[in-house]
């Protein structure tokens, strides 16, 4: 038996971590979780667990990889025999840069369930593991750079995600709402989304968009209900409405066997009155759509999101007609965006009578199509991921004259949306430099929406907030 410890600093259950843990446990290995923002405390917990391998799920340009690398370095000093494995976006996008660090023994590119399982099985048998597809492996002979593994075609072969892993921290003890995922991937090619990058990177490795069967999803939800007794469900799929036939069959089964209110995401051009009626009848209390910007020309051209304003208006009207609330995701701070464009986004949400607004600051994350376009045109110079010093909640790295004002408007987005009469006041306030007080307004408004709209238990929200606010306040700079 191999003992594996997963280590992360974000206070949130990662679906990839739960999936890999479930596969390992099913094959007789043991797993444990360390979820900690302090490097020192993380290392102490890992050493107490005495694992064979430690797995880091690392995002890019968030400080996440750098934090994990520091843990790995100090861990190696204390116990050089522990194997360190890095997975998720950063090593997938930057394998050479990742393996340049001696503290990284192995990296996984792409889906990790079967490569990590094969690695663990070979470790248990004392066999060579340098040729496993999907893994880059460090050895005295050098680094074995194996090709990426093919995608898992039938997701039903996987065991249900291992949510028990997070119960070490009582994560689901006060979970009025539990997040689940019914599939992987998105068929669209928006320029600001990492799915576009990953589609190109893994071209030829199988179908990018896949779903579990309706029956599998229902059975997983029955397990979730039995173990954790949630009052609602959130489907975290990038696009829940990708397959109409699947949606119809699932909705009918969900109403009969689960019956909990739920939130899911759609695109305005992939739903019609029939699909919305199925979702509403099954128990959807809120449906999410990605508006991104209220400027149709920018949405079509800059963002490569070919959805007209009229489609959003029609979808929102239909959703409301079925008694379901509308949540939209919105972004401020795109390259070339004006203040008028940003206010258009707020006004458009008011026009379609959005109930809940999510809003973030655009980040030129490495390898995004939009980032590459900016770099090619000279608008934005390449920035190493380690030098990203902000988050999509906080500031921007783009150097354009109005960016401080756009960042400030982001902090007031909810207030202007909810109270339009505040617009003249906010127009005056955003001329000031970005500051701590504006950030508190954002935190309060975001937290208020989550508390009042998303069926989350206050203690669950508090636990998530305390962990993630440490990261928010540790980023440098309110704007650039």
Q: Where are the domains of the chain?
A: 3-145, 172-474
Q: Which fold has domain 172-474?
A: TIM Barrel (3.20.20)
pTM comes to 0.94
What is the Cα 62 distance to its own chain's centre? 12
Could you tell me the two tokens for 314?
A: 């029609």
Highest averaged pLDDT of the listed ranges 59-63, 115-119, 364-368, 456-460? 115-119
- Per the model's pLDDT, the better-predicted residue between 472 and 265 turns out to be 265
Distance CA 239, CA 249 (A): 17
pLDDT class of 329 with cuts at 50, 70, 90:
very high
The predicted-structure confidence for 345-395, as pLDDT tens digits, reads as follows 999 999 999 999 999 999 999 999 999 999 999 888 888 888 887 788 889
Decide yes or no: CATH 3.90.245.10 for domain 3-145: no
As to burial, measured by CB atoms within 10 angstroms (0-12 exposed, 13-18 middle, 19+ buried), residue 245 is exposed
Could you tell me the two tokens for 57?
A: 């799920």
Structure confidence at residue 82 (pLDDT): 98
Q: 116: which residues sit within 8 A by CB, 6+ positions away?
A: 4, 20, 23, 24, 55, 85, 87, 108
Distance CA 8, CA 65 (A): 10
- DSSP-based three-state secondary structure for 5: strand
Spatial CA neighbour of 71 closest among 60, 88, 57, 90: 57
Q: 346: which residues sit within 8 A by CB, 6+ positions away?
A: 294, 413, 416, 417
Structure confidence at residue 391 (pLDDT): 81
Distance CA 474, CA 433 (A): 19
- CB distance 262 to 241 below 8 Å: no
Structure confidence at residue 129 (pLDDT): 97
């Amino acid at each position: 038996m191999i003992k594996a410890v997963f280590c992360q600093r974000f206070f949130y259950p990662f679906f990839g971590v739960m999936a890999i843990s479930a596969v390992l446990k099913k094959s007789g290995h043991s797993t444990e979780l360390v979820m900690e923002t302090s490097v020192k405390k993380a290392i102490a917990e890992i050493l107490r667990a005495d694992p064979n391998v430690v797995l880091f799920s690392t995002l890019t340009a968030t400080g996440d990889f750098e934090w994990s690398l520091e843990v790995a370095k100090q861990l190696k000093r204390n116990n050089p025999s522990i194997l360190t494995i890095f997975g998720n976006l950063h090593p997938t996008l930057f394998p050479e840069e990742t393996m340049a660090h001696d503290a990284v023994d192995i990296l996984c590119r792409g889906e990790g369930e079967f490569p990590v399982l094969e690695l663990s099985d070979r470790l248990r048998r004392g066999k060579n593991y340098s040729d496993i597809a999907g893994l880059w492996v460090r050895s005295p002979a050098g680094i074995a750079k194996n090709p990426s593994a093919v995608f898992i075609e039938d997701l039903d072969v996987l065991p249900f995600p291992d949510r028990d892993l997070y119960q070490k921290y009582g994560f689901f003890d006060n979970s009025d709402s539990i997040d689940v995922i019914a599939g992987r991937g998105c068929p669209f090619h928006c320029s600001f989304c990492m799915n576009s990058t990953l589609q190109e990177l893994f071209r030829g490795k199988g179908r990018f968009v896949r779903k579990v069967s309706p029956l599998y999803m229902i059975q997983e939800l029955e397990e979730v209900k039995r173990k954790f007794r949630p009052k609602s469900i959130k489907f975290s799929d990038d696009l829940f409405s990708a397959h109409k036939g699947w949606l119809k069959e699932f909705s009918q089964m969900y109403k009969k066997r689960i019956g909990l209110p739920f939130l899911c995401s759609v695109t305005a051009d992939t739903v019609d009155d029939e699909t919305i009626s199925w979702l509403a009848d099954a128990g959807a209390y809120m449906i999410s759509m990605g508006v991104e910007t209220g400027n149709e020309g920018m949405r079509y051209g800059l963002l490569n999101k070919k959805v007209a304003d009229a489609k959003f208006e029609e979808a929102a009207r239909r959703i409301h007609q079925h008694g379901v609330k509308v949540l939209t995701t919105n972004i401020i701070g795109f390259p070339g965006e004006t203040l008028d464009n940003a206010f258009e986004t707020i006004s458009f949400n008011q026009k379609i009578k959005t109930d809940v607004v999510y809003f973030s600051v655009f980040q030129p994350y490495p390898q995004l199509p939009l980032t590459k376009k900016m770099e090619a045109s000279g608008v934005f110079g390449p920035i190493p991921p380690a030098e990203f010093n902000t988050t999509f909640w906080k500031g921007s790295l783009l150097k354009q004259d109005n960016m401080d004002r756009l960042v400030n408007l982001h902090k007031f987005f909810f207030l202007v949306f909810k109270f339009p009469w505040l617009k003249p006041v906010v127009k005056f306030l955003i001329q000031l430099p970005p500051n701590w007080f504006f950030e508190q307004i954002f935190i309060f408004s975001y937290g208020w929406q989550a508390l009042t709209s998303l069926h989350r238990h206050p203690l669950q929200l508090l636990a998530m907030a305390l962990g993630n606010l440490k990261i928010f306040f540790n980023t440098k700079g309110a704007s650039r």
